A and B are shown apart, each in its own frame.
Chain A
Amino acid sequence: MVPLNYYIILSAILFTIGALGVLIRRNPLIIFMSIELMLNAANLALIAFSSAFNELDGQIFVFFVIAVAAAEVAVGLALIVQIFKSRHNINVDEINQLKG
């Protein structure tokens, strides 16, 4: 049986890589993918705790996180497509005002 600590460390590493992606990449699609990676790292930690304490609640939380991530991606990608339509450029450094 793998110790719980290993799962938590792995989850922390994945989360850090995701956070790094948000900070260093300038393509909003990659930033979105990094956010998905961070959500997944959190899911992994939740399932690991759920398995370690033999409770099913963690799995329910992960279920909700997946649903929220799906909703977030649908709206976010629609926004990115709209921004690209009006500016033909999706570099996040150049999108610095709310006016269309």
Chain B
Amino acid sequence: MTIDLFLFLVLALVSIGTALGMLLSRNAVYSALFLVLNLGAVAIFFLLLGAPFIAMAQITVYAGAIMVLFLFVIMLLGTEEIPGMQNWKKFIIPAVLAGALILESIYLLTSASRPLGLIANPSESVNTAQAMRDLGELLFDQYLLPFEVTSILLLVAMVGAIVLSKPEKAGK
């Protein structure tokens, strides 16, 4: 079994385990935390597949911004309660999954034989900076119109969210 396949299998185990955890846990807070782990695992997959920029975007936008928004709304609605004292045995599975994820990400980020921009096959390793430059050129050249449309979409979403959460006038 090659090292690549081993890394893939560990990550696959982590991502499927956390997805099932999200699906099956009774508490929405735990579901959200499992989903954070799952998004992290998918981000490490992106590193493994030679897409470091997308991996970092995944961590910051998904696991960072979107999941914080989720947790914020869960807390705001107050429909879920976390029991105060808990048995540590309940956390063994999430802890093992998170530990595997952290070890693998440290390995991928520090391993000298595996630079970040590596496309799965070591013999065709590409320069990270060059790959990033190509991505930027593609985004701002060939895909410029979709990029601008995305900015309008984000603006509309922002206005929509503000309008929706505005308090209604009393006399209406």
Residues on A close to B: CB < 8 A? 1-2, 6-7, 10, 13-14, 17-18, 20-21, 24-25, 27, 29-30, 32-34, 36-37, 40, 43-44, 47-48, 50-52, 54, 56-57, 59-60, 62-64, 66-75, 77-82, 84, 90
Contacts and interface: CB of A to CB of B under 8 A. Distances in A.
Nearest to B60: A66
| Interface residues of B, dominant DSSP | helix
Interface of B: 2, 4-5, 8, 12, 15-16, 19-20, 22-23, 28, 31-32, 35, 38-39, 42, 45-46, 48-51, 53-54, 57-58, 61-62, 65-66, 69-70, 73-74, 76-77, 79, 119-121, 124, 131, 134-135, 138-139, 143, 146, 150, 153-154, 156-158, 160-161, 164-165
B66 A70 contact: yes
Contact of B138 (A60, A62, A82): A60
A73 B120 contact: no
A77 B73 contact: yes
A36 B38 CA distance: 10
A74 B161 contact: yes
B112 to A, nearest CB: 19
A60 B31 contact: no
Contacts of B154: 67, 70-71
A66 B143 CA distance: 15
Nearest to B50: A51
| Interface residues of A, dominant DSSP | helix
Nearest to B162: A78
A64 B54 CA distance: 11
A81 B73 contact: yes
17 contacts: A17-B19, A24-B23, A25-B23, A29-B70, A30-B28, A33-B35, A37-B38, A40-B39, A64-B146, A66-B58, A69-B62, A70-B65, A74-B158, A75-B160, A75-B161, A81-B77, A81-B164
B23 A21 contact: yes
